[in-house]
Structure 1
Amino acid sequence: MAAPRETATLIQWDDAKGCGFLRGDSEPSRLFVRLHDFELLTERPRQGERFSFEPGVDGQGRRRALRVRRPRAPISVRPRNSAGTAGLLLIPGFAAVYLVCHLLWGLPPALWGGYMALSLASFIVYAGDKRAARLGQWRVKESTLHGLALAGGWPGALLAQSVLRHKSSKAVFRRRFWLTVWGNCFAFALIFTPLRSLLWAALGFGPI
């Protein structure tokens, strides 16, 4: 039979070593805890945070914390992100527009490969950042994620946000992300379609 769970406060934590100390509520002595002793950890432990644990002992007979968990939050049904699902329709929509542009104006063969490669890179980076968040490790800068999207990796980023549920609920990040999407689409139209010539003529500069 498992030992009764106790509660404690994290009083010290070292990210570099991946370990720290808890102070139990039932007695003042410190309990050693390692990163791998935590269960269902989605972000790094923070000093002052409350946890529950099962008491145990190490090889030298000293008390330590095992199967450490954050307090269980009330179960709630997470609403489906309909905006994110609808946003995925932009990927086949862009592919259709790309095909039409290619048939009309003969786009460079390497351009589609560039979009595919950057999208794959974006998905991999998102997956790595989600894993880092879960393990409490160093995170990818948001500017890097936005840079990949602006360069042409936004389809992969959009897919990662929906499939991995990562960066899909942070409003500020989402606003900036959509700016990179529309920025890339505008740059695509400006460089690879007659839009540039039309804008140039509308400004009264004559044909390019």
Structure 2
Amino acid sequence: MIAHEKPPPPIDRRFCDNYWRSPTGIFIMMAGPSKHKQRLQTPMQRGVLVMWNDQKGFGFIRPQGTEDDYFVHISTFKKGLTRRPEIGDDVHFRATGLTAKKRASFAHIPAIEPPQSPSGTPFELNPRKRSWAINVLIITPLVLSGYLLLMAKNPLPFFSYWILSLLTMFLYGLDKAHAATHRWRIPEVYFHLLELMGGWPGALIAQNDFRHKTRMSSYIWILRGIIAIHLMVWGIYFYWAGQKVSLGLMDDSF
């Protein structure tokens, strides 16, 4: 006589309902989709942008060999493109794998991506010869502050010019590297603050050495204004000191 196995007990639906409502069940349901999403990450596909509404920032990609169009939004594209997407662009994209809607989760257009600089050499240091007038401007505050250091024993202007000029040159090089690799740029207000406090000789040196911020713009005009203010302050100070010496109110050590 063949022994038959006992049938499994019936499923208690009330237990199942209570289980999925419990904290453990809720945690499993919340954690499940994220793992599932990683497993269903779709491979990159290639297609053509067959429709694009530039005003609203969306369009449709048609993969090669199919008629199924995928929705794509402007925020989906890789950052740093040299222009806006256009109809007919060759697009590489990845589709979402969790929903039934055909939608691109990531896209980039190789034809309009910025050229990448070689790693380790974001730009070449190619200094150009400075004019004699620029050299005179650079040397003037250093000489005057050096004289003030020796005669009046006031080290603040001298070391301020040197330290802030070196810091300004460093920021110039960093901003040039960021510009070459299309990274976050340093705001110009930071340069102007350093220049106003005494770093403008370093700015003049870095402009020639890095060939950076040399185009005529509002930045150049503000820099020139800062230089004029410094030279005017030096002129007023030495004129005032000379008047004091001539009247015998102070010695020639200022």
Match for residue 110 of structure 2? 67
Percentage of pairs with the same residue: 21
C-alpha distance 127-21 of structure 1, shift in aligned 2 (>3 A): farther
Determine if contact 1:132/1:139 at 8 Å carries over to the other structure.
no
Match for residue 182 of structure 1? 228
Aligned counterparts of 2:159 and 2:236: Cα–Cα separation in 1: 19
Match for residue 16 of structure 1? none
Q: In the alignment, residue 240 of structure 2 is paired with which amino acid?
A: R
Match for residue 91 of structure 1? 138
C-alpha distance 7-184 of structure 1, shift in aligned 2 (>3 A): farther
Aligned counterparts of 2:109 and 2:85: Cα–Cα separation in 1: 16
Displacement of 1:184 in angstroms is 1.2
Query: Would you tell me which structure has more strand in proportion to its own residues?
Result: 1
Q: In the alignment, residue 110 of structure 2 is paired with which amino acid?
A: R
**Secondary structure, aligned partner of 1:108:** coil
Tell me: higher relative CO, structure 1 or 2? Use CA pairs within 8 A at least 6 residues apart: 1
Specify which of 212, 218, 225 is matched with residue 166 of structure 1. 212
Displacement of 1:189 in angstroms is 4.1
Displacement of 1:110 in angstroms is 3.9
Q: In the alignment, residue 167 of structure 2 is paired with which amino acid?
A: A
**Secondary structure, aligned partner of 1:58:** strand
Determine if contact 1:197/1:207 at 8 Å carries over to the other structure.
no
Displacement of 1:180 in angstroms is 0.7
Specify which of 32, 55, 60 is matched with residue 91 of structure 2. 55
Displacement of 1:126 in angstroms is 3.5
Matches of residues 74-153 of structure 1 in structure 2 within 5 Å? 85-86=130-131, 88-89=134-135, 90-96=137-143, 98-99=145-146, 105-130=151-176, 131=178, 135=182, 137=184, 139-140=186-187, 142-153=188-199
Larger C-alpha radius of gyration, 1 or 2?
Answer: 2
Aligned counterparts of 2:78 and 2:248: Cα–Cα separation in 1: 69
Q: Deviations over 1:79-126 (max 9, x none)?
A: xx98x93254132454455556656x3452343221111112222333
Q: In the alignment, residue 78 of structure 2 is paired with which amino acid?
A: R
Specify which of 72, 77, 85 is matched with residue 30 of structure 1. 72
Give the TM-score normalised by structure 2: 0.48
Aligned counterparts of 2:140 and 2:61: Cα–Cα separation in 1: 56
Aligned counterparts of 2:72 and 2:89: Cα–Cα separation in 1: 13
Q: In the alignment, residue 192 of structure 2 is paired with which amino acid?
A: H
Aligned counterparts of 1:65 and 1:160: Cα–Cα separation in 2: 36
Aligned residues between the structures: 178
